[in-house]
Amino acid sequence: MRAIVIKSWLKDPSDMEVKDIPVPTPKENELLVRVDSAGANFFDILMVQGKYQIKPPFPFTPGAEFAGTVVRPSRTDTRFKVGDRVFGSNVTGAYAEYIAVPSIQCFHIPSTLGFEQAAGMYITYPTSYAALVLRAQIKHGDHVLVHAAAGGVGIAAVQIAKALGATVIAAVGSEGKFDICVGQGADHCVNYREPDWADKVLEMTQGRGADIVFDPVGLIEKSLKCIAWNGRIVVVGFAAGNIEKVAANRILLKNVAVTGVHWGAYVKNEPDKIMEVWNALFGLAEEGRVKPVVYEPVLYGLDKVKDALKAIANRETYGKVIVKPAETPSKL
Ligand SMILES: NC(=O)c1ccc[n+]([C@@H]2O[C@H](COP(=O)([O-])OP(=O)(O)OC[C@H]3O[C@@H](n4cnc5c(N)ncnc54)[C@H](OP(=O)(O)O)[C@@H]3O)[C@@H](O)[C@H]2O)c1
């Protein structure tokens, strides 16, 4: 089969090469999935350069999210059969025609979604749902300020907050992304590259401020200027590359709660919450109230993964960037 193969740390993701390698042999708890669509992530860039917290042994195939068809079921998990449409995630292996993956890291694709939509859902949607519902305790009528609102977790947060009855203020780095956010349910948009964006949020909330700030960027300090009394800030990530130090007196002044979300760590710490979150998301997906947004153009061929990662690094993308490994996959 064709796969991206990393044999040593790369200087740049554009050095990635597609090779012919054997189809992986699944262990008894694993499914063999023919990958229809792979979801690209910023951390793929770091991983192939050896700069990510996880450093897989060589050789490895990067790519953490996929959707496709089961071609060999697990011997220990009867939930999946040959031909089932599934999506899932693994530390490595998705930038390939086939992936062998533990069945517990897979779900059936909701009937309302296609492969391309499902391929980018595994990380972003539960993160955003857990942030808003478990951590920020979102309520109907809340004003929710979503930073990086056109990005992977951001766009999911816009849809989820809207579905749960909030008024959504989408904050992005360029006005070109306003239409995308409005299309996903945002009520207002601001450009956080403009110095007065926090004043605009205050205007949009009649001076009260946002009840919830969803922050995957690193904008806590500035968001404290436009947060409401009893506001909740959820730290989701640091896309701007800077980890803030926040003056604690500003947290006290407006009775603010600052909280974090680390979705990947729920497996270890609160595994019972995982299906609670997914069942809620599957319900919203089946009702058509959340629908993953796929960046256009969808890229065809594994040699296009480098283009996907370049577009992400340049902040050109919205939603999830999807790569289709092969129109006609290698025979098993
Ligand atoms: N806590 C968790 O469990 C969890 C789970 C998933 C992801 N995350 C984190 O959440 C963050 C966003 O992930 P994502 O998948 O949504 O990424 P993404 O799709 O690549 O979106 C990130 C967005 O951040 C914005 N941004 C602002 N300042 C930036 C800068 N200096 N450089 C690059 N981008 C900048 C960009 O939008 P604009 O151009 O509009 O500013 C960009 O599109 C990452 O830090 C990721 O690690 C955390």
Residue 275 domain flag: no
**100-128: b (≥16 Cβ within 10 Å) or e:** bbbbebbbebbebbebbbbbbbbbbbbbb
What value does the mean pLDDT take over residues 261-271?
97
User: Hey, whose CA ends up nearest to atom 18 of ligand 1?
Assistant: 151
**Shared domain check, 308 and 183:** no
Tell whether 51 and 85 lie within a shared domain.
yes
Tell me, yes or no, whether 284 lies in a domain. Answer: no
Ligand 1 geometric centre to CA of 217 (Å): 6
**CA of 144 relative to ligand 1 center, distance in Å:** 17
User: 40 alpha carbon to ligand 1 midpoint, in Å?
Assistant: 12
Q: Is 198 found in the same domain as 257? A: yes
Q: Determine the average pLDDT of the residues in 298-312.
A: 97
**Domain assignment present for 276:** no
Segment 21-32, tens digit of pLDDT: 999 999 999 999
Q: Please state, as a whole number, how many other Cβ atoms lie within 10 Å of the Cβ of residue 89.
A: 22
**Is residue 332 in a domain?**
no
- CATH of residue 46's domain is 3.90.180.10
277 within domain boundaries:
no
d(CA 330, ligand 1 centre) in Å: 34
Q: Are residues 58 and 187 in the same domain?
A: no
- Mean per-residue pLDDT for 308-327? 95
Q: Given this model, what pLDDT does residue 8 score?
A: 98
Spacing, Cα 34 to ligand 1 middle (Å): 28
Residue having the nearest C-alpha atom to atom 34 of ligand 1: 239
Candidates 22, 23, 17; CA nearest to 4 is 17
Q: Is the pLDDT of residue 328 over 90?
A: no
77 and 139 share a domain?
A: no
Domain stop point among 265, 281, 307: 265
Q: Show the ligand 1 pocket: residues with CB < 6 angstroms.
A: 42, 123-124, 127, 148, 150-154, 172-174, 177, 216-217, 236-241, 261-264, 312, 315
Q: Which residue CA neighbors atom 15 of ligand 1 most closely?
A: 152
How many CB atoms are closer than 10 A to CB 245?
8
Residues 32 and 150 grouped into a single domain: no
pLDDT value at residue 332: 81
Mean pLDDT (the chain) is 97
CA 50 to centroid of ligand 1, rounded, Å: 20
Ligand 1 binding pocket mutation candidate from 53, 153, 270 (most atoms within 8 A of CB): 153
What is the share, in percent, of the chain residues with pLDDT greater than 70? 100
Distance 216 CA to ligand 1 centre (A): 6
* Count: domains in the chain: 2
Per-residue confidence band for 326, with pLDDT thresholds at 50, 70 and 90:
confident
Which residue's CA is the nearest one to ligand 1's atom 21? 151
Q: φ, ψ for residue 21 (rounded to 5)?
A: -135, 165
Is the same domain home to 82 and 172? no
Q: Do 140 and 63 fall into the same domain?
A: no
Domain extent for 98: 2-121+292-324
Per-residue pLDDT tens digits for 41-74: 999 999 999 999 999 999 999 999 999 999 999 9
Phi-psi region of 262 (alpha: psi -120 to 50; beta: other; left: phi over 0): beta
Mean pLDDT score, 76-105: 97
What is the percent of the chain where pLDDT is above 90?
Answer: 98
Per-residue pLDDT tens over the stretch 155-172: 999 999 999 999 999 999
Confidence at 330, pLDDT banded by 50, 70, 90: confident
77 and 116 inside one domain: yes
Residues 6+ apart with CB under 8 A from 131: 153, 157, 214, 234, 236, 261
pLDDT at position 329 is: 76
- Flag whether pLDDT at 306 surpasses 90: yes
How many of the other CB atoms lie within 10 Å of CB of 272?
7
Measure CA 132 to chain center.
14
Query: Does residue 111 belong to any structural domain of this protein?
Result: yes
- pLDDT of residue 331 exceeding 90, the answer is no
In a domain, 238, yes or no: yes
Q: What is the mean pLDDT of the segment spanning 178-188?
A: 98
